[in-house]
Amino acid sequence: MYAIFENGSKQYRVSEGDTVKLEKLNANVGDTVEFPVVLVADEKGIQVGAEVENTKVTATVVCQGKAKKIIVFKYKAKKNERKKQGHRQPFTEVKITAIGGAKKAAKAE
């Protein structure tokens, strides 16, 4: 079973027990966070749209950190213009604990 959830305008494919690095979240280490689900696939098939409207992916924050440094070097030929700049992207690492936290409402027809 796996799910695709959305966070920070990006989508991630996860299963229970996976560890994922996301855009930085305002959460402390050990906190539980939930994400809305876009798609769920299991032995019954694939569910999207209104079928997964109430489904959530639950995760626990493992750590906050910064990625490896990258160097941004801008250069203009024949103008003696050089600009060197470094960047370290902050991230939050989460461990997926559950998929489908909210149960689907039963049809009363």
Q: What pLDDT digit, counting tens, does each position of 20-60 carry?
A: 999 999 999 999 999 999 999 988 888 888 888 889 999 99
Q: How many C-beta atoms lie closer than 10 Å to residue 1's C-beta?
A: 11
Q: Does some domain include residue 109?
A: no
In a domain, 94, yes or no: yes
| The predicted structure's pLDDT at residue 8 | 85
In-domain check, residue 88 = yes
Number of separate domains in the chain: 1
51 is in which domain, residue-wise? 2-99
Q: What type of residue sits at position 13?
A: R
**Least reliable range by pLDDT among 15-19, 29-33, 69-73, 100-104:** 100-104
Does 104 reside within a domain?
Answer: no
Q: What is the pTM of this model?
A: 0.78
- Rounded to whole angstroms, how far apart are CA atoms 95 and 69? 24
106 lies in some domain? no
Q: Does some domain include residue 15?
A: yes
DSSP string, 26-88: S--TT-EEEEEEEEEEETTEEEEGGGGTT-EEEEEEEEEEEPPPEEEEEEETTTTEEEEEEE-
